Amino acid sequence: MSQTQYTEDNIRSLDWKEHIRMRPGMYIGKLGDGSSPDDGIYILLKEVLDNSIDEFVMGAGKTIEIRIKDKEVRVRDYGRGIPLGKVVDVVSKMNTGGKYDTRAFKKSVGLNGVGTKAVNALSTYFRVDSVRDGQMKSAEFELGELTNDGGLETTSQRKGTKVTFIPDESIFKNYKFRMEYVGKMLKNYVYLNPGLTIDFNGEKFHSQNGLKDLLEDNMSQEDMLYPVIHLRGNDIEVAITHSRTQYSEEYHSFVNGQNTTQGGTHQAAFRESIVKTIRDFYGRNYDASDVRKSIVAAISIKVMEPVFESQTKTKLGSTEMGGGLPTVRTYINDFVKTQLDNYLHKNPEIAEKIQKKIMQAEKERKELSGIRKLARERAKKASLHNKKLRDCRVHLGDTKNERSLETTLFITEGDSASGSITKSRDVNTQAVFSLKGKPLNSYGLSKKIVYENEEFNLLQAALNIEDSLEDLRYNNIVIATDADVDGMHIRLLLITFFLQFFPELIKEGHLYILQTPLFRVRNKKETIYCYTEQERIDAIEKLKPKPEITRFKGLGEISPDEFQHFIGEDIRLDPVMLDKAMSIEELLKFYMGKNTPDRQEFIINNLKVELDKVEE
């Protein structure tokens, strides 16, 4: 048997841009097409924006302008500007940046000198302009390669930095910036930086009350059990309230301005400190789950040179605050114990409401304890026999958990559809949960139904979301149903289930609808899958003369060999988003409650249009 030769010729060194383009996931997490809030195109924007935010934190520039048109992004700040002699190096030379000097950036998010280099390398066009002391320096790049190194120019422009880039479509396939995701990101930035104004495509974002504004903007006044408890200290800010209707916990956590969507040491310490403080205040050893049930809270801390568990900085790994301060856990515990305890003593009416909420949660938990125990046993038994869930290797121990952001659970209807997806999926990161028939309409029902209904109980167990989203097993939950009336009804029933019992799962951008093709147009040389009538017309035009046209009526008609095209690199997902103009209760009542004249009118005006699309 011949052996492959291993010589000096097999060894090669990649330059900075080649390595980023070859292994983009190491630098920006997953890629995606913009349908998920943690897709790469938003990380590129964040990396550029973080530098502008750091300028504001250092007291330079109170306004940041962002423009996104089609696929081009422009970020302009009015900070100090990059030193003109280092403009090219800062955006194209690894391990180069001002944040290594902790005297200048003591509590910055980006400390590794990689951010803008990754944006540069992953963009078909990248330009940086820096203005300082009446002079401007510009540089342009393509795929990280310098194409124009401009000289110094005299200018009357205000000092600061402007970065323009177009993400590379060969890496971010079929990408599209969703303004809802960008808007949420920008709102978080202003909540964490009171006094900052971000002008996004002409819309201005501003906050004076920090995390208090965050909670109030994300909840209706009717849903708040009591006004937001807002506490501030050196390097820490927290906001706390309880929801009247929500069952599980919901947290918004941040470190040095970075939204840590996966939590980390600070969020764990925050949850622990709330329970300890409440127990001490009331002198009762309440169960932790009762204290935290229905809580909606936010925490922001500033840490010296934070350590995150990935380049995308979604989970804090640091245990130390730095700068001579105690550990993260001790610092947060001490702050919450002192400040929250003082607040409750000064506001007895709020303290009373919290205690009543805890006692109500305790009563419900005890009433459900027997049902929950049986439900867990059923779920465990079903899992062992693998009747409903075909899990992925990330959760079976065969793949490292750094791929957790890629994990997806497809919720399907019927054996044929689930069989096709199961056979064609990526077994490393994609799992399948098979529904049997239509789910129950859960609107207005209590949490008890989740344990008594087999479908809901097993789905809850598969997702691991009974008490908190912190241990959510799949980053993406995808409803994969037929594009007919029955399929749409199942979608609506599943969305109702999540809105009724786990709304934060939708709020945090985890729920999607799978788009599958309506038509297949092909000839002997080429096959084109079409998702709309217009795509079908274009495909027929492209594949002249008379191609074969197939209309897919259901997912079960699509073979496993074909399905792999729709749930792989070219997957199309539509995120399920909440309309901020309507509360969850109003939303559910309108769509799933008893018939009302308003809903009848809505159905008359809209359903015929949708059915016409389906029947085309």
pLDDT in tens, 293-328: 999 999 999 888 777 776 566 778 777 777 777 888
List C-alpha distances in Å: 614 to 80, 536, 552, 553, 592: 55, 14, 11, 9, 22
Report the length, in residues, of the chain.
Answer: 616
d(CA 49, CA 32): 20
In sequence order, the 6+-apart residues with CB closer than 8 A to the CB of 396 are none
DSSP code at position 224: B
Give the position of tokens 């408890």: 229
pLDDT mean over 464-485: 83
- Exposure of 137 in the CB half-sphere (CA atoms within 13 A): 15
Give the confidence band of 349 by pLDDT, cuts at 50, 70, 90.
very high
- What's the CATH number of domain 386-516+552-615, 3.30.70.980, 3.40.1080.10, 3.20.20.70, 3.40.50.670? 3.40.50.670
pLDDT (0 to 100) of residue 3: 57
DSSP string computed for 44-112: HHHHHHHHHHHHHHTT--SEEEEEEETTEEEEEE-SS---GGGHHHHHHSTT-SGGGSTTT-TT-S--S
pLDDT mean over 249-270: 88
Fold of 211-361: Ribosomal Protein S5; domain 2 (3.30.230)
pLDDT (0 to 100) of residue 580: 62
In sequence order, the 6+-apart residues with CB closer than 8 A to the CB of 25 are 31
pLDDT (0 to 100) of residue 415: 74
Instruction: Pull the structure tokens for residue 296.
Output: 């909606």
pLDDT over 70 (residue 203): yes
pLDDT mean over 263-271: 90
pLDDT over 70 (residue 177): yes
Using CA atoms in the order 304, 309, 311, 314, what is the torsion angle rounded to 10 degrees? -90
pLDDT over 90 (residue 572): no
pLDDT mean over 508-536: 88
Ranked by mean pLDDT, the top range of 87-91, 155-159, 277-281, 576-580 is 277-281
353 membership: H or E segment, kind and range? helix 348-385
pLDDT (0 to 100) of residue 614: 45
Task: Specify the range with the lowest mean pLDDT, choosing from 48-52, 184-188, 404-408, 555-559.
Answer: 555-559
Q: Percentage of residues in the chain with pLDDT exceeding 90? A: 37
pLDDT in tens, 53-91: 989 988 888 999 999 998 999 999 999 999 998 889 888
Instruction: Pull the structure tokens for residue 194.
Output: 């009171």
pLDDT (0 to 100) of residue 100: 44
pLDDT mean over 96-101: 51
* Burial of 544 (C-beta count, 10 Å sphere; 0-12/13-18/19+): exposed
d(CA 575, CA 234): 38
Number of neighbouring beta carbons within 10 Å of residue 6: 8
Rg (the chain; Cα; Å): 26
pLDDT over 90 (residue 241): yes
Q: Percentage of residues in the chain with pLDDT exceeding 70? A: 85
Closest CA to 120 of 160, 96, 100, 90: 90
pLDDT greater at residue 572 or residue 569: 572
Per the prediction, the chain carries an average pLDDT of: 84
Closest CA to 84 of 129, 47, 54: 129
pLDDT mean over 369-397: 72
pLDDT greater at residue 32 or residue 212: 212
User: What residue segments make up the domains of the chain, in order of their start?
Assistant: 16-206, 211-361, 386-516+552-615
pLDDT in tens, 6-64: 565 655 556 778 888 888 888 887 888 888 888 899 999 999 998 999 899 888 889 99
Residue 550 phi, psi (nearest 5):
-120, 135
pLDDT over 70 (residue 605): no
pLDDT over 80 (residue 286): yes
pLDDT (0 to 100) of residue 13: 59
Percent helix, percent strand, percent coil in the chain, to nearest 5: 45, 20, 35
pLDDT greater at residue 265 or residue 343: 343
Per CATH, the homologous superfamily of domain 16-206 is Histidine kinase-like ATPase, C-terminal domain (3.30.565.10)
pLDDT (0 to 100) of residue 610: 47
pLDDT over 50 (residue 264): yes
Cis omega (within 30 of 0) for bond into 37: no
Ranked by mean pLDDT, the top range of 35-44, 94-103, 384-393 is 35-44
Give the confidence band of 374 by pLDDT, cuts at 50, 70, 90.
confident
pLDDT (0 to 100) of residue 599: 58
In sequence order, the 6+-apart residues with CB closer than 8 A to the CB of 466 are 248, 460
